[in-house]
Amino acid sequence: MPTRIRFEYTRYPHWGGRSGYVQLAHQLDKQRYHAILHGASDSDADLARWLAPLRPWLRRFVRRGRMPWYKLSDLSAEIEAFAGCLMTRFDIVHFLDGEHSGQFLPRLVRKSRLSTVRTVATFHQPPEVASKVVNTDLLRWIDHIVLVSPSQLPFFQEHVPQDRLHVLLHGVDAGFFHPAAMPNRTDRIRCITAGHWLRDWRAFESVASALLGVGGITFDVVTNRKVDLQHLPNVTIHSGIDDATLANLYRSVDVLFLPLVQSTANNTLLEGIASGLAAVITDLEAVRAYLPGGEAILVGENQVDAFVDALRRLQQDIDLRHELGRRARARAEELAWPRVIRNYENFYTSVAA
């Protein structure tokens, strides 16, 4: 019998179909694993009809759980999942967004003595954010906790035994995101920045402003959030684009420029290196976990002058730009889902056992 895993995740309207952590559910060996995927909206609107009359009371109730990102849609999803657990439909329930979900089910599973069901939660936020949104009292009820970066370990080690903590890196669709057929061999380069969470827009604006007088360097920004960059003539903003347009945009530019406030796993980083881009990124422990072998130029503390120097260097040194892009693509192939999923399958096998 295949191991039956119910995946609970949070749906965001800006997510594409080829990106994100939810992709792991689609990558599992279908002969060995039966994946049931359920997404809850990031709102209080998505509530089972029979619970709707209780909405005001339930909203107050869930807020007492000290999980500020937990919504009524998450509660509805947990109720549905617990009913499936009682009917022995699942072997594992994996909360793909632990900061948003898993407030009640892990404890109910333990107290109901459902010994055949195991609970797993993946957490994505760096310690500075996790300390504000994770209710550490609830962690003891979760059987296993997955982290996507070793930089998260110090926070969770204070609350969870080491044998229940697992660092499993994020993956990328390296077939969909791939390099351009012909690399650019001129000194006119385009840099791309995508996303919004934990981005250092102040540093980005300073770098773009500093390069206004430098010919041949422009920036493409992909984000659905408001950013005050319209006054910069060397910046083009893209919003609401689909997966194919995003992948083509990666292939049409030359450099991934990613100034970050903090990070754990980062979809933009993975998609950029899979597209064979030379990268200039903030030097963080989590970034080094994904780029450990000199695949990018890393800049400490978001120093504007160092960012500017790195981008000018990649503009002028075409061979270096192509070499970094080649290394980046090689690293992306190591992080491609068909390889990364083996670590998750081994993990699920040990959990189910």
Q: What is the pLDDT of residues 195-222, one digit of tens each?
A: 999 999 999 999 999 999 888 999 999 9
> Which secondary structure element, helix H or strand E, spans residue 120, and what is its range?
strand 118-123
* Cα(122)–Cα(323) distance, integer angstroms: 34
pLDDT in tens, 215-267: 899 999 999 989 999 999 999 999 999 999 999 999 999 999 999 999 999 99
Contacts of 38 (CB under 8 A, 6+ apart): 6, 7, 8, 9, 77, 80, 81
pLDDT in tens, 67-109: 999 999 999 999 999 999 998 899 999 999 999 999 999 999 9
Residue ranges and CATH numbers for the domains of the chain are 3-171+337-352 (3.40.50.2000), 189-334 (3.40.50.2000)
pLDDT band at 353 (very low <50, low <70, confident <90, very high): confident
Across the chain, what does the average pLDDT equal?
A: 95
Q: Which residue has the higher pLDDT, 32 or 114?
A: 32
* Cα(40)–Cα(150) distance, integer angstroms: 28
**Cβ 330 vs Cβ 14: under 8 Å:** no
DSSP 167: E
pLDDT band at 269 (very low <50, low <70, confident <90, very high): very high
* Cα(99)–Cα(125) distance, integer angstroms: 8
What are phi and psi for residue 8, nearest 5 degrees? -110, 130
The predicted structure's pLDDT at residue 65 = 85
* Cα(52)–Cα(333) distance, integer angstroms: 47
Is the pLDDT score of 64 beyond 90?
Answer: no
pLDDT in tens, 123-165: 999 999 999 999 999 999 999 999 999 999 999 999 999 999 9
**Cβ 315 vs Cβ 230: under 8 Å:** no
pLDDT band at 50 (very low <50, low <70, confident <90, very high): confident
The predicted structure's pLDDT at residue 209 = 97
**Cβ 28 vs Cβ 341: under 8 Å:** yes
pTM: 0.95
Helices (H), 123-229: 127-133, 153-157, 201-210
Mapping DSSP onto H, E and C, the string for 222-261 reads ECCCCCCCCCCCCEEEECCCCHHHHHHHHHHCCEEEECEC
Is the pLDDT score of 63 beyond 90?
Answer: no
Could you tell me the sign of the dihedral formed by the alpha carbons of 126, 129, 132, 134, in that order?
A: negative
Is the pLDDT score of 59 beyond 90?
Answer: no
Torsion angle, alpha carbons of 23, 25, 31, 34, to 10: -160
Chain length of the chain: 353
Amino acid symbol at 36:
I
